[in-house]
Amino acid sequence: METLWIIINVAVMLVLLGVLLWMQKKHISFTKRVFTGLGLGLVLGVILQLIYQADSEVLAKSTDWFNLVGRGYVGLLQMVVVPLIMVSIISAITKLKGKQNLGKISGLIIAVLLITTAIAATVSIVTSLSFDLKAIEIEAGEQEQARGAKLEERVGEVADRSIPQQVLDFIPTNPFADMTGARSTSTLAVVIFSAFIGVAVLGLDKKKPEQADTFRKIVDSVYAVVMRIVTLVLRLTPYGILALITNTVATTNPEEILKLIKFVGASYVALIVMFIIHLILLALFGYNPVQYVRKVLPTLVFAFTSRSSAATIPLNVETQTKRLGVPEGIANLSASFGATIGQNGCAGIYPAMLAVMIAPTVGIDPLSWDFILTLILVVTISSFGVAGVGGGATFASLIVLSTMNLPVALAGLLISVEPLIDMGRTALNVNDSITAGVITGKVLGENDQDVFKRNVDLDVVQA
């Protein structure tokens, strides 16, 4: 009987995937298909939740099949991340007029990412204090205690590492290992390695121009192939979102959420406030916030469902260049930097909120200015090198809590709602990287305003 129900569940998923395929063949816009996938996934997830309950064996096996589409799509995106970053950054740098431009672009992007992270930490502190969040009020079950013990084991990885040592991790001592994502800082290391290649080509222009031109032609050819692969993968976005959101909703335990509803509510208030601050910043630079939201929403929806800033890089770059008018070089740098530096949600809001919650348990007044200013500074600095995948927020929290001499085990109290809040955090991370790209392009006068004003759909099917 169990097998029959699994077959029925998989059949229903296949029917819904067929609906999206039909919409694609009818040339219905990419955005509409993305939101249709999201809506169908929400409905199916709720129905499965009501029928089987979150811990059902039938549901577990059914979602395992759904993962062929959901996690398979995320895997395909991760497949193209490193080739896209490398070839895009090399191509962009070799087309620059001088090395100084690269420094300006990188400096502006990183400045925006760090400034917004400091603001995010401030917003998180205010929100936490307003909601009167306290770790001591959360009941620790068996699962939470086990999670806390694991966090205490992991803290040794970061507690004894100074800031200079963490900065040294950015250096790609083995770029081929970093291409496999071997470290939390691998994405940033690949960016640095690619930048060195690009700068080296610029240096060849004076000494060996023929070799430099040959290399450029090779890079341009590879770039064209990689972008075609990206286009093919992005066509699958509506299907991936359908499966991902179905799994998330179906396997989320409502009772656990209700127990921690105060923390979940505070988290999303902070995330929404920070998103509004992003829009205000864009408005100050002359961008219509409403039009901006319409253009980036499909990308943020994918980030929300996938919970991976790194996997969102291809869609992030495509949105910046095709919908917002940001040059390819700036878009690739901001998307890549934003996946490992200054993540407003995972490295800004979350660690700051945990610190405020945990501080009273060791006799620290979270209202004291010494604590608040130190926390903002620590959060901002430690936001370097946080992995843009699931678990990045935990890593950032370990760094912040250990630096502030706060017990890291208490962070395990929130394990049951971690996936739910991680969705919002990831979407904010991605929006921050897009914001950094748009602002940088605007300051340097490189953005194409006509592209932003044009009311077009990012329909990768027609690409």
**Candidate ranges 133-147, 360-374, 403-417; pick with highest mean pLDDT:** 360-374
pLDDT of 441 strictly over 80: yes
pLDDT of 448 strictly over 70: yes
**pLDDT for 245-294, tens place per residue?**
898 888 877 776 777 788 889 999 999 999 999 999 999 999 999 999 99
Provide mean pLDDT across the span 328-342.
84
- Structural contact between residues 347 and 382, judged by C-beta atoms closer than 8 angstroms: yes
Residue 148: DSSP 8-state: H
Higher-pLDDT residue of 155, 461:
155
Distances (CA, A) of 305 to 169, 370, 445: 30, 38, 34
Read off φ and ψ for residue 341, nearest 5 degrees: -130, 135
Give pLDDT, residue 20. 93
pLDDT of 461 strictly over 60: no
The β-bridge partners of 384 are 341
Helix/strand/coil for 364: coil
Our CA angle for 119, 122, 125, nearest 5°, is 155
Q: Which residues contact 345 (CB under 8 A, 6 or more apart)?
A: 120, 271, 274, 393, 424, 425, 426, 427, 428, 429, 432
User: How far is residue 51's CA from residue 38's CA, in Å, rounded to a whole number?
Assistant: 20
Give the up-direction half-sphere exposure of residue 410: CA atoms within 13 A in the CB hemisphere.
Answer: 21
Nearest to 233 by CA among 320, 328, 302: 302
| Mean of per-residue pLDDT scores for the chain | 84
On the 0-12 / 13-18 / 19+ scale of CB atoms within 10 A, 27 is exposed
* Calculated CA dihedral for residues 215, 216, 217, 219, nearest 10 degrees: 90
Provide mean pLDDT across the span 292-302.
92
**pLDDT for 94-138, tens place per residue?**
876 554 577 888 899 999 999 999 999 999 999 999 998 887 656
Long-range contacts of 287-295 (CB under 8 A, 24+ apart): 287/438, 287/442, 287/452, 291/452, 291/453, 292/324, 292/438, 292/452, 295/319, 295/323, 295/324, 295/452, 295/458
User: Mind listing the domains of the chain with CATH numbers?
Assistant: 2-462 (1.10.3860.10)
Give the predicted TM-score (pTM) of the model.
0.82
- Structural contact between residues 105 and 440, judged by C-beta atoms closer than 8 angstroms: yes
- Structural contact between residues 342 and 113, judged by C-beta atoms closer than 8 angstroms: yes
Q: Which residues contact 269 (CB under 8 A, 6 or more apart)?
A: 127, 131
Give the up-direction half-sphere exposure of residue 200: CA atoms within 13 A in the CB hemisphere.
Answer: 9
